[in-house]
Structure 1
Amino acid sequence: MLTHLTLINFALADHLTIDISSGFNVLTGETGAGKSLLLDALSACLGERTDSQQIRYGADKADITAVFSYIKDSPEQVWLTHKELEDGSGELHLRRVIFSTGRSKAWINGRPTSLAELKELGQILVQLYSQHSQQQLLGQHYPKQWLDRSSGLLDTVQDVKSHYQAWQKAIRQYDDALHAQTTHQQRVQLLELQLEEIEPITAYHYPDIEQAFDRYSHHEAIMQDCNYSLDVLDDSEQNIAQQLASILKRIDTHAGRSDELAAINTALLNAQNEISEAASQLRQFIDHQSFDPERMAELNTQLEIFHRLARKHRVAPEDLKQQYETWQDELTQLNLLEDPETLALHVKQAEREFLTRAEKLDQMRQAAAPQLAKELTHQVKSLALPEAQFEFVFMPFEQPHAEGLSQVQLHFTANKGIPAQPLAKVASGGELSRIALVMQVMNAERTDADLIVFDEIDVGISGGTAEIVGRLLAKLGQHVQVLCITHQAQVAAQSDQHLLVQKQQTDPASSTIFELDEDQRIQELARMTGGIEINNITLEHAKQLRTLKYQQK
């Protein structure tokens, strides 16, 4: 879960440190106070896009750090271990620095990381729902996706998609084979001729041949230089070996009198050994050298073949063997295409495997749908929709689809005696916001994320409905950490921790976030319900809201 958030020169925050509790947390404040400050900072730490406008006026960079705690074998620990970032502390530190130039840097547990990695980890840690999430309900695929997630069918769905893709790939291969039948024989013949032509030289390594021919071409010069070098090193009357031995004899006499001379003496001894070894190897090299005109002619012929074939096939001589292997692979693939009937059988097999899994998925969806619709109906009825009814409707696709065999629609009615119709057609804006809220809470109960963030999703509700929403979120907070930005006192009253955002007219202006104690919570709830004028009536109402929280426990 999220435990700490530190903001330095981020937006309206100068230097702000926030401790976040477990359970249900709310964030409130006047309009314009900067309630989005916390979420924007958290989003930055989770790899979302940033820009220089988020840097506090007058600063050259913004620095945000988020600290999460996690338990053993949790998804985030598995991810960290896989990336070799797990340090055994049970804490996860995410840091993002935004520069005035527009660029940014990121770290995970102190190690520099990419934004892609940060975002991947962020999707594991946090699930965000905004006030615009209700629009998802109107999407064609959302009911099916919600059904799959809520019913634990995501792995089955992915398996069906994989087998659908395998089936489609088999179809493409079969079609390619039919198309290639008219031209591939000519290509096969050409490849076989090219392979036959190059095969004799594949036993040779071109760089070795080139080096050997170069050595024969310069044999006389090599021998002259080697003999001269050996003579200077070891054979002449004033050779280097003798002169070095004389120097060593003189230095060794005084080596015990100076550490510096002792080190020089050691270096000279090493040099003497190296020169002796080099002279020995040079003598062996000279003894083993002989010029073979026939071998040189053979090498020359081989080089001519390499260069001729390289020019013909427009590749470098040293790349001819790689070209041979490429053509061999292509010929193998073309030979596989000689029997389209085999590929046709493969298409049938892939289709059967897909249909078997798709039919099973369809059955699992239809089995899970009634209970899920019943649960959704029960939850929504408490939000001032007493006659609400939901049902999932399955309509077979004309053709099998990667998503399965049926399109799934969520039908809804808010009025007794009126048949349910597609949600997007009959639900009002207020009904959609309440339905979206319940669906998000139901989804969140099944998430693996440690933190669920609700950004003003209670817009459009009030009174008793808002109180029930608060209870839903409080109940959710018993299973997972919840952070909710809200304008509803009935929602805020149900929280375990209440954070308040306040703008201070410093120069430049700044925002601060701090935790409220019980008395401060009453004052803030009174402000939320009664506006600027806080009197005994609004204070008493605020106390009653808090009393309801404790009664729920």
Structure 2
Amino acid sequence: MLTHLAIRDFAVVTAAELEFGAGLTVISGETGAGKSLLVDALGFLSGQRADSGMVRHGAERAELHAEFDLAASDDARQWLREEEFDDGDACQLRRTLRADGGSRAWINGRPATLSQLAALAGRLVEIHGQHEHQALLSRPSQLALLDAFGGHDALLAAVSGAAQRWSALLRERDTLTRAREGRPGDVTERGEWLEHQLAELDREPIDPASIADLDASHRRQAHSAGLIAACDSALARLDGDDSAALPRLLQQLRGELVRMHEHEPRLAEVDAMLDAAAIQLDEAGLLLERVRADLDVDPVQLDELERRLTRLHELSRKHQVAPEGLEAQRDALAAELDSLRNAAVRLQALDGEITAAGDGWRKAAEVLGKARTKAGKALSKATTALITELGMGGGHFEVALEPAETGRPDPQGAERVEFLVSANAGQPPRPLRKVASGGELSRISLAIEVAALGHDAVPTMVFDEVDSGIGGATAEIVGQKLRALGQSRQVLCVTHLPQVAAQGHAHYRVSKAASDGVTQSAVQQLDARQRQEELARMLGGVEVSTEARAAARRLLRNAS
């Protein structure tokens, strides 16, 4: 949900900050005051191509900043995590437009590309209006909305999974086929090469434990002379009979302390520690004798150990892995050899598995196609009824499904969708993206969103001049539909009709004034009294009459 929008030096807006909440927020103002600039700002924050003409005259750059609460936007949070832009349940979009035509963008304070900005914004805000950059004009978005409307998540997952399995089996078959055809090498030659490599590796113990033992044995033999000298010297100090031997010195020390401990009881504790030390010295001497017995200067053994280590390092360089990675390399080569030996059998089995996977996809796609047909009829009926309510009498909406000519299992199913609309009776339906009237397009988009109420994943919807070309009872119905949509989604609507504005949960007014010969726009959030005056102005024009104020109060009372 959009919570904050800040604009600086954008078109005729010097500076403006808006706070948004849930429900329907309406934006009104005099013609030419710049009501749609707020929609334009969101459009640029959604990745629209930079336009230096939108920088306020005399300024170096325009700055746009939006903050969103992602508590109910799982799709956006997941995208942020995958792209490493995540920052809790809050999200900030920022973009600058320079007067020389350049622009920069940031997501949560980190530089971002326009494609990343557009990908994220598409999960946060959807703009419906007299512009061609609308999600509902995109056929993939239309298909996604139809599937959401029909609750096809499980069916679509089954189709996607079957298509992915088919593709994986096909890739495996292609890999084996290329190998058998001599790319990168003939199977027989490759197999002989693999057998030779495995034979080389199997001649040496290459498991990590054996390599560690070999390295330890080499170090011990390489330093055997020094180790023997060190052991002999230590044993002489531990087991010698001269007065400098450690056990004799320790015994003398204990004797001296025993004579004195009756005068200081704590010396008894010291004697106990020295007694334990004497035991440890005896055990150390026994271990030293065993170590010394294992040591021997053996040049032949040293040469053998060095030869084995050299061989291991040669294998490491040959296979471009560390010595500890040779075992894994051997296992990989053995697996490839096994695969080559069984390639013919596996290829034969793959043909059957690919056929079965294709059949599975077709069955799943057929079930999904039937569900889409049923959902399309329901969405068509509901949207057509709403189009009539919205002042397009005789209008007709149709969800057309046509085969997807991909020639292979498609994760999206066996069909594509096109939203068709006839704005007037007697006219043939045409693709929604080719509807000429911006006002009609806005109302049709509103009808589709209301018909699919609660199914669109985008949390914020913006309607620009959705009430263009209508009035009276139809305008009130449009306002009611927008308010109803605001029960499950955040809705922003730029309007010039009081019947629509009265339905808002919050109301902003955009005004313009000349300062030092320069026209500037200002945005103000209206309280209850100001809102009544604005509706009266919208009803009565420049001169606000008592009757207009009374009518404004009635509109607000009826809306609430």
* Alpha-carbon distance in 1 for matches of 2:376, 2:414: 15
Q: Which letter does structure 2 place at the counterpart of 1:169? A: A
Which is worse superposed, 495-504 or 184-193? 495-504
Correspondence for 2:471 = 463
Conservation of the 8 A alpha-carbon contact between 1:134 and 1:436: no
Identical aligned residues as a percent: 26
* Alpha-carbon distance in 2 for matches of 1:8, 1:139: 29
Correspondence for 1:25 = 25
Correspondence for 1:446 = 455
Conservation of the 8 A alpha-carbon contact between 1:34 and 1:511: no
Correspondence for 2:216 = 211
Correspondence for 1:535 = 544
Q: For residues 425 and 479 of structure 1, do their structure 2 counterparts lie closer, same or farther at Cα, with a shift above 3 Å needed? A: closer
* Alpha-carbon distance in 2 for matches of 1:240, 1:36: 93
Correspondence for 2:127 = 129
Correspondence for 1:331 = 337
Correspondence for 1:365 = 372
Scaled by the length of structure 2, the TM-score of the pair is: 0.69
Q: Which letter does structure 1 place at the counterpart of 2:532? A: I
Correspondence for 2:188 = 185
Conservation of the 8 A alpha-carbon contact between 1:388 and 1:414: yes
Which of 416, 421, 426 aligns to 1:407? It is: 416
Q: Secondary structure in 1 aligned to 2:529?
A: helix
Q: For residues 274 and 476 of structure 1, do their structure 2 counterparts lie closer, same or farther at Cα, with a shift above 3 Å needed? A: farther
* Alpha-carbon distance in 1 for matches of 2:427, 2:69: 51
- Deviation of 1:501 (Å): 5.9
* Alpha-carbon distance in 1 for matches of 2:107, 2:277: 52
Q: Which letter does structure 2 place at the counterpart of 1:435? A: I
Write out aligned runs for 1:147-226 (5 A): 147-182=146-181, 183-202=186-205, 205-225=210-230
CA RMSD of aligned residues (A): 5.5
Correspondence for 1:94 = 90
Correspondence for 1:342 = 349
Q: For residues 173 and 66 of structure 1, do their structure 2 counterparts lie closer, same or farther at Cα, with a shift above 3 Å needed? A: closer
Q: Which letter does structure 1 place at the counterpart of 2:149? A: S
Write out aligned runs for 1:16-415 (5 A): 18=19, 20-28=20-28, 94=90, 96=92, 106=108, 126-131=124-129, 132=131, 135-182=134-181, 183-202=186-205, 205-225=210-230, 227-228=232-233, 281=284, 284-285=287-288, 287-289=290-292, 290-291=295-296, 293=298, 295-310=301-316, 312-313=318-319, 315-339=321-345, 340-398=347-405, 399-400=407-408, 402=410, 403-415=412-424
Note if 1:475 corresponds to 2:478: no
- Deviation of 1:298 (Å): 4.3
* Alpha-carbon distance in 2 for matches of 1:309, 1:239: 51
- Deviation of 1:347 (Å): 0.4
* Alpha-carbon distance in 2 for matches of 1:152, 1:552: 32
Q: Secondary structure in 2 aligned to 1:404?
A: coil
* Alpha-carbon distance in 2 for matches of 1:283, 1:470: 97
* Alpha-carbon distance in 2 for matches of 1:137, 1:22: 22
- Deviation of 1:363 (Å): 0.9
- Deviation of 1:220 (Å): 0.8
Conservation of the 8 A alpha-carbon contact between 2:41 and 2:64: no
Correspondence for 1:522 = 532
* Alpha-carbon distance in 2 for matches of 1:342, 1:421: 48
- Deviation of 1:215 (Å): 1.6
Q: Secondary structure in 1 aligned to 2:419?
A: strand
- Structure 1, gaps ≥5 residues long: 84-91, 254-261
Deviation track 1:239-280 (CA, whole Å, cap 9, x = no partner) reads: 89969x98xx99xx9xxxxxxxx9xxx9xx999999997996
Q: Which letter does structure 2 place at the counterpart of 1:535? A: V
* Alpha-carbon distance in 2 for matches of 1:285, 1:9: 82
Q: For residues 36 and 180 of structure 1, do their structure 2 counterparts lie closer, same or farther at Cα, with a shift above 3 Å needed? A: same
Q: For residues 304 and 367 of structure 1, do their structure 2 counterparts lie closer, same or farther at Cα, with a shift above 3 Å needed? A: same
Q: Which letter does structure 1 place at the counterpart of 2:223? A: H
* Alpha-carbon distance in 2 for matches of 1:281, 1:99: 73
- Deviation of 1:139 (Å): 3.7
Q: Secondary structure in 2 aligned to 1:202?
A: coil
* Alpha-carbon distance in 2 for matches of 1:277, 1:42: 81
Q: Which letter does structure 2 place at the counterpart of 1:368? A: A
- Deviation of 1:375 (Å): 0.9
* Alpha-carbon distance in 2 for matches of 1:230, 1:23: 89
* Alpha-carbon distance in 1 for matches of 2:385, 2:166: 41
* Alpha-carbon distance in 2 for matches of 1:453, 1:425: 21
* Alpha-carbon distance in 2 for matches of 1:33, 1:513: 9
- Deviation of 1:148 (Å): 1.9
Q: For residues 186 and 417 of structure 1, do their structure 2 counterparts lie closer, same or farther at Cα, with a shift above 3 Å needed? A: same
- Deviation of 1:218 (Å): 1.2
* Alpha-carbon distance in 2 for matches of 1:313, 1:122: 44
Q: Which letter does structure 2 place at the counterpart of 1:331? A: L
- Deviation of 1:286 (Å): 5.6
Q: For residues 333 and 486 of structure 1, do their structure 2 counterparts lie closer, same or farther at Cα, with a shift above 3 Å needed? A: farther
Q: Which letter does structure 2 place at the counterpart of 1:332? A: D
* Alpha-carbon distance in 2 for matches of 1:397, 1:99: 38
Conservation of the 8 A alpha-carbon contact between 1:16 and 1:512: no
Scaled by the length of structure 1, the TM-score of the pair is: 0.70
Q: Secondary structure in 2 aligned to 1:458?
A: coil
Q: For residues 78 and 41 of structure 1, do their structure 2 counterparts lie closer, same or farther at Cα, with a shift above 3 Å needed? A: closer
Deviation track 1:437-496 (CA, whole Å, cap 9, x = no partner) reads: 3223434532456x4331525274442454332111112223444343445433221112
Correspondence for 2:84 = none
Correspondence for 1:258 = none
Which is worse superposed, 192-201 or 542-551? 542-551
Which is worse superposed, 190-199 or 433-442? 433-442
Conservation of the 8 A alpha-carbon contact between 1:466 and 1:490: yes
Q: For residues 454 and 156 of structure 1, do their structure 2 counterparts lie closer, same or farther at Cα, with a shift above 3 Å needed? A: same
Which is worse superposed, 149-158 or 380-389? 149-158
Q: Which letter does structure 1 place at the counterpart of 2:162? A: H
* Alpha-carbon distance in 1 for matches of 2:238, 2:515: 84
Q: For residues 104 and 447 of structure 1, do their structure 2 counterparts lie closer, same or farther at Cα, with a shift above 3 Å needed? A: closer
* Alpha-carbon distance in 2 for matches of 1:525, 1:136: 31
Q: Which letter does structure 1 place at the counterpart of 2:24? A: F
Q: Secondary structure in 2 aligned to 1:338?
A: helix
Which is worse superposed, 119-128 or 310-319? 119-128
- Deviation of 1:524 (Å): 2.1
Correspondence for 2:100 = none
Which is worse superposed, 204-213 or 439-448? 439-448
Which is worse superposed, 400-409 or 118-127? 118-127
Conservation of the 8 A alpha-carbon contact between 1:143 and 1:410: yes
